[in-house]
Amino acid sequence: MILSMTAYANLEVETSFCALKWEIRGVNHRYLELSLKIPDAIREIEWDLRDIARQHLSRGKIDCVLKLDKIEETMGELIMDLSLVDRLIAATGQITERLPQSMVSSFSPFEILHWPGVIQGININLPELKPKITESFELLLENFIVARAREGRALKSFIQERIERMKKEIAAISRHTSSVLEDYRAKLKGRLQEFNVTVDSDRLEQEIVYIAQKMDISEELDRLNMHLEEVLDTIRQGKVVGRRLDFLMQELNREANTLGSKSQSGIITKKIVELKVLIEEMREQIQNIE
């Protein structure tokens, strides 16, 4: 099973204290980069959550958010900056004294509560809530991995389809190779006849053999097929294979470039371009594989 680094999952768990609302999304990244946004009141368990994440994930840029909702009164009371409240009340009184009576309106304490920094958090009974948070986080990660696996299956099918197309192009190149040499032989003899030049037949064959060696691409075609089989083996094995697949794409591209430099046929050159397009399409998608 291969996993995509691009996926999304969410989860809501009801507890006797509150509702835990989780969201997690990931995109591709060279390493594991976890952004974990949780309420300040439970910040002390952040590193426990990070340790859990590292046990499940190897690569990807991960954004994870936890919100506490439907908080019961049993969880504790609001933590307020009372000194800030006092300063705000004093400032309100000074403003009221300066306003004309017609502009003075009734004052609501709720307006103070909405001032930034007044409510600093909630005094949560973390020892009782922590097991629920860690259990729900484990479940969230399991759902996230299921989503990654679903995307991974689509990527696997995409790669397999491109490999089949590449094999067909390679087979067509191989079939056309022998005719390229014969075409060169006929073209060379035609030129010699055109210019009425007599050449020793042994010397001519030596020249043709030399050109044939320069034009020979059988090794490159064999290596291309070998690398394609290795790609298939790798995606069948699954697990964390993104870096290995990326390396194999580099090897495939190198062989395709060598083929291009040796090509003496417009037909073969066209098929090599198609090979490189297919390799690039695979490489782009492989960037998403963990």
**pLDDT surpasses 50 at 85:** yes
| Lookup: tokens for 285 | 């998608």
The answer to whether residues 66 and 165 belong to one domain is: no
pLDDT for residue 195: 65
pLDDT for residue 74: 45
The answer to whether residues 139 and 232 belong to one domain is: no
pLDDT per position as a tens digit, 29-82: 999 999 999 987 788 899 999 999 999 999 999 999 999 886 654 455 556 666
Question: Which domain does 96 fall in, by range?
Answer: 78-120
- Is 42 within the bounds of a domain? yes
Closest by CA position to 52, among listed 143, 141, 127, 147 = 141
| Residue 248: CATH number of its domain | 1.20.140
Write 215-218 long-range contacts (CB < 8 A, 24+): 215/180, 215/181, 215/184, 215/262, 215/264, 216/262, 217/173, 217/177, 217/258, 217/259, 217/262, 217/263, 218/174, 218/177
pLDDT for residue 239: 81
**pLDDT surpasses 80 at 135:** yes
The answer to whether residues 156 and 145 belong to one domain is: no
pLDDT per position as a tens digit, 153-207: 999 999 999 999 999 999 999 887 766 666 666 666 666 666 666 666 666 666 6
Mean pLDDT of the chain: 83
pLDDT for residue 94: 73
| Lookup: tokens for 152 | 């991974």
The answer to whether residues 281 and 166 belong to one domain is: yes
The answer to whether residues 88 and 26 belong to one domain is: no
**pLDDT surpasses 80 at 86:** no
The answer to whether residues 20 and 134 belong to one domain is: yes
The answer to whether residues 193 and 166 belong to one domain is: yes
pLDDT for residue 20: 92
| Residue 19: CATH number of its domain | 3.30.230
The answer to whether residues 66 and 158 belong to one domain is: no
- Is 190 within the bounds of a domain? yes
Where do runs of H (alpha helix) occur along the chain?
A: 46-56, 82-98, 109-113, 126-194, 201-215, 218-237, 242-262, 266-286
CA–CA gap between residue 125 and residue 123 (Å, rounded): 7
**pLDDT surpasses 50 at 100:** yes
Task: Tell me, yes or no, if the pTM score tops 0.75.
Answer: no
- Is 2 within the bounds of a domain? no
- Is 197 within the bounds of a domain? yes
pLDDT for residue 41: 77
- Is 38 within the bounds of a domain? yes
**What is the total count of domains within the chain?**
3
- Is 16 within the bounds of a domain? yes
- Is 1 within the bounds of a domain? no
Asked if 13 contacts 134 with a C-beta cutoff of 8 angstroms, the reply is no
The answer to whether residues 144 and 199 belong to one domain is: no
Closest by CA position to 157, among listed 225, 232, 88 = 232
The answer to whether residues 157 and 282 belong to one domain is: yes
The answer to whether residues 140 and 230 belong to one domain is: no
| Lookup: tokens for 97 | 């004294």
- Is 225 within the bounds of a domain? yes
pLDDT for residue 263: 77
The answer to whether residues 158 and 227 belong to one domain is: yes
135 to 23, 126, 131, 141: CA distances (angstroms)? 15, 14, 6, 10
Average pLDDT over residues 235-261: 92
